[in-house]
Amino acid sequence: MTSNYARYLAAKTTVDDRALNRPVLAELRRLLPAGAPRVLEIGAGLGTMVARLLDWGVLAAGEYTLLDTDRALLDDSRRWLHAWAATRGLPSELRPDGLQIGDLRVRLLQAELGRYLETEDGAGPGARADLLIANAVLDLVDVPAVLPGLLRRLGPGGVYWFTINYDGESVFVPDDPHDDQVMRAYHRDMDERVRYGRPAGESRTGRHLFHQLRAAGAPALAAGSSDWVVSAGPDGNYPGDEAIFLSSILNTIRDALRSHPDRPDRVDPADLDGWLATRERQLAAGELVYVAHQLDFAGRAPG
């Protein structure tokens, strides 16, 4: 893998596996048309959802488009999925624009989401997807602005599955005197974030999606919690590469809070450094527990 972010995405695979809401997933299975669906996943990252849905028997054939703004990450996904298929004994063939895994054709598409929706909304019915996936993505975009365009990517009877939507609560254990101040500042950074000249998410995306989906004509048919819960086992070791995942979460908070040194509600640098040092010691000792509250949704396209 070519980036720390790709390593983070691989490390969080097992965290997402546990978190994804099973009743919502069961509703997705019920809604999904039989046969070989056309799937579009936005912000697809490393392509771990492709592997997961094949592993879990949700998909076996069809065409799956991975859309992401990061070309290098898409290249990583091509290699990662090819290697993953080999570990499962699945036939896999690299293609210039992606790869073939058994009867599933995986295509890679580099595009920034807002620009993609502006240029692709006029595509004909044959280009519409049967399943639209956004995993840990909608809390990074301006949902009211992009949701109508996203839902228009679905064909008649198409299904959406929007998962791991952050909902304003992160917990680190053991408690620390600076927890509340750190998380308030981090949530403010999420609420004020701008990318590509556009608002880029908010800290309470999960709860707001209930009404945003209804307003877009596509109310959720199933919804439920998909909390990340990460802790070490009795031997003091974290499962898989989840220590890497936790270290990445701490680094994300560090970078967000250090990027706005002039805010009146900023965390004092010495307090932030102390908080991070404490959390890193706890992580190294297998003592750190992390919980993030999130929500999953499944439903149908409008009309």
List per-block mean pLDDT (blocks of 10 residues) for the chain, which spans 303 residues. 83 98 98 94 96 97 97 96 97 96 97 87 64 97 96 95 98 97 95 89 97 98 98 97 98 92 84 97 98 98 88
Question: Among 21, 76, 39, 29, which Cα is nearest to 293's?
Answer: 21
pLDDT at 103: 97
Supply the pLDDT for residue 261: 73
Q: Which residue type is seen at 280?
A: E
Dihedral Cα 292, 296, 302, 303, nearest 10 deg: -160
- How far is residue 263's CA from residue 195's CA, in Å, rounded to a whole number? 19
Determine the Cα–Cα distance for residues 51 and 238; give it in Å rounded to an integer. Answer: 22
Distance CA 254, CA 145 (A): 29
Task: Give the residue among 90, 83, 253 at the shortest CA–CA distance from 184.
Answer: 253
The answer for residues whose C-beta is within 8 angstroms of residue 19's C-beta and 6 or more apart is: 164, 226, 227, 228, 229, 294
Cα–Cα dist 113/111, whole Å: 6
- Cis ω on the peptide bond leading into residue 156 (within 30° of 0)? no
User: Do 147 and 213 form a contact (C-beta atoms < 8 A)?
Assistant: yes
Domain definitions of the chain by residue range:
4-300
The encoded tokens of residue 151 equal 């839902």
- DSSP structural state of residue 119: H
Q: What is the pLDDT of residue 122?
A: 44
CATH superfamily membership of 4-300:
Vaccinia Virus protein VP39 (3.40.50.150)
Question: Which helix (H) or strand (E) segment is 133 a member of?
Answer: strand 129-135
Residues 6+ apart with CB under 8 A from 179: 172, 275
- b/e string for 109-132 if b means 16 or more Cβ within 10 A? beeebbebbeeeeeeeeeebbbbb
The reported pLDDT for the residue numbered 3 is 80
| Residues 155, 125 contacting (CB under 8 angstroms) | yes
What pLDDT score was predicted for residue 121? 52
Residue indicated by tokens 């909902």: 167
